[in-house]
Amino acid sequence: MAVNLQQGSALRSRSYENDDFQGMVLKMRPTKPLYALSPKIIKQAAQEFIAAFPGLPLYAVKTNPDRQVLKALKKGGIQAFDIASLAELKRINSLFPNAQMHFMHTVKTPEDIRVAYFDYGVRHFVLDHEEELFKIMRETKLAQDLNLTVRIALPKNGKALIDFSKKFGACFEEAVDLLKKCRPISKVLGLSFHVGTQTTDPGKYAKAISFCARLIEASKVNLDCLNVGGGFPVAYEGDGDMCGLHDYVTAIQNALDRHALSHLSLMAEPGRILVAGGAKLVTRVELRKGNLLYINDGVYGGLFDAAKWVGTRYAVSAISCDRAFDDNFQEYRLAGPTCDSLDMMEGPFVLPSDIGIGDWIVFENAGAYSQSLRSDFNGFGYAEVVSVSSNKD
Ligand SMILES: *Cc1c(COP(=O)(O)O)cnc(C)c1O
């Protein structure tokens, strides 16, 4: 079942030895897509991020709002959350009444601003346009305790899977103007950017910080906080050697030093890096036509990122339903279960040559942007979620 923010997801908690994942699948013999969630891995990812990053991480809730995921992050030390809607806000508030929530959508409804401010005590709001600033001022009845963040658009961005600056962010001149207007009414004034999700070049953060430095200088405004957004990557198939989190932190710190901005308090909005490794997605082969495998989940379900518009190549492995595979492998394309011809995943995905009907394909690193993006299109939305833990945990 999709992570439904109103009702929550069905979740059965089971205890399995982590090293006997295959045994678990063979025992369960799932006929529908199955998420095997590992709260321990998510907790560790949170701990690692917090240890490495010299500031406050806000978890980007949209990445995966499953309650077990959120609880694991909290156990790992995550205290603050980047929310974009009232549904996300309510989910966080119901689980962690004292958590800090930052309303980081640049286009909010007046009603949502009012409820967030007056009913839930939200004080952190982002904006990238003057009219949005007026909206926030109006709806909070000219509150004097706001912490406003100006989101900027970055100049053309190379190595990211999805460029976020086409849709969000103020350009240089607008941002300068917004900083000046926000300063008198902000207790804490911040700047934020998003270098793009799955950014594989730490230099992008350094460039973004240089851009911020010029902006701050041009505005002559005293800034308190810099939010470096999300974008920290995860290694998928074919990514080769990737920089580690410490390389990103070093690039960020060096850039801050270079521009004499080390006094700013730092924030980040990690999503993918915290939760991708925390789930495997088990799917089943329903038909094979040569090198094309028809499976029971696809781009309208948990494999949105494997569609041609993103092209993520998840690492995959196969579990046979009734025999041992021989040792030969070949490349496959995958087709999802819906009747839409866009529901295809070109990969290529390397799997046993003799894989066939009834065998399972396991997608690694399926904890980010999978559960949260499932739709019920064509009636194929259902997935089961089990929480897997080692008996030694
Ligand atoms: C989606 C999003 C994030 C998380 O991005 P990742 O690339 O998953 O780390 C952070 N901040 C904002 C504003 C977002 O929209």
Q: How far apart are the first and last CA of the chain?
A: 26
Record the tokens describing residue 9, joined without a space. Answer: 């997801």
Q: Both tokens of residue 380?
A: 């194929």
Strand partners, 332: 349
Separation of 269 CA from ligand 1 center, angstroms? 6
Query: Quick check: 156 pLDDT over 80?
Result: no
3-state secondary structure 126-139: EECCHHHHHHHHHH
Nearest to 191 by CA among 160, 214, 162: 214
Per-residue pLDDT at 18 = 61
Does ligand 1 have an atom closer than 6 angstroms to the CB of 202?
no
Give the percent of the chain with pLDDT over 70: 92
Q: Between β-strands 344-352 and 329-335, what pairing exists: parallel, antiparallel or unpaired?
A: antiparallel
- Which pLDDT does position 17 carry in this prediction? 62
Average pLDDT, the chain: 93
Ligand 1 pocket test target in 107, 194, 248 with most atoms within 8 Å of CB: 194
Region of 296 on the Ramachandran plot (φ > 0 left; ψ -120 to 50 alpha; else beta): alpha
- CA 282 centroid distance within chain: 20
pLDDT of residue 8: 40
CA angle, residues 284, 287, 288, in degrees to nearest 5: 110
What is the residue whose two structure tokens read 């952190």?
124
Does ligand 1 have an atom closer than 6 angstroms to the CB of 233? no
Quote the pLDDT of residue 169: 94
Q: Is the CB of 65 under 6 A from ligand 1?
A: no
Confidence class of residue 155 from pLDDT cuts 50, 70 and 90? Answer: confident
**Which residue, 187, 106, 192, is CA-closest to 152?**
192
4 or 31: which leads in pLDDT: 31
pLDDT in tens, 51-94: 999 999 999 999 999 999 999 999 999 999 999 999 999 999 99
279-287 average pLDDT score:
98
pLDDT digits (tens, 9 = 90+) for 201-250: 999 999 999 999 999 999 999 999 999 999 999 999 888 889 999 999 99
The yes-or-no verdict on residue 159 having pLDDT over 90 is: no
User: What is the per-residue pLDDT across 306-362, written as a single tens digit (0 to 9) for each?
Assistant: 999 888 999 999 999 999 999 999 999 999 999 999 999 999 999 999 999 999 999
Give, for 40, the enclosing helix (H) or strand (E): helix 39-52
Task: Give the pLDDT mean for 101-114.
Answer: 98
Q: Does residue 231 have its Cβ closer than 6 Å to ligand 1?
A: yes
Domains of the chain: 2-38+276-389 (2.40.37.10), 40-275 (3.20.20.10)
- Cα distance between residue 34 and residue 31, in whole Å: 8
Burial grade of 347 (CB within 10 A; 0-12, 13-18, 19 or more): buried
272: CA distance to ligand 1 center in Å?
8
Angle at 171 between CA 166 and CA 176, to 5 degrees: 155
Protein residue with its CA nearest to atom 5 in ligand 1: 230
CA–CA distances in Å: residue 289 to residues 2, 37, 286, 300, 348: 29, 31, 10, 21, 15
Ligand 1: does its nearest atom lie under 6 Å from the Cβ of 64?
no
Where are the strands (E) in the chain, listed by range? Answer: 12-13, 34-37, 56-60, 80-83, 100-103, 124-127, 146-151, 186-192, 225-227, 265-268, 279-289, 292-295, 316-319, 329-335, 344-352, 360-363, 384-387
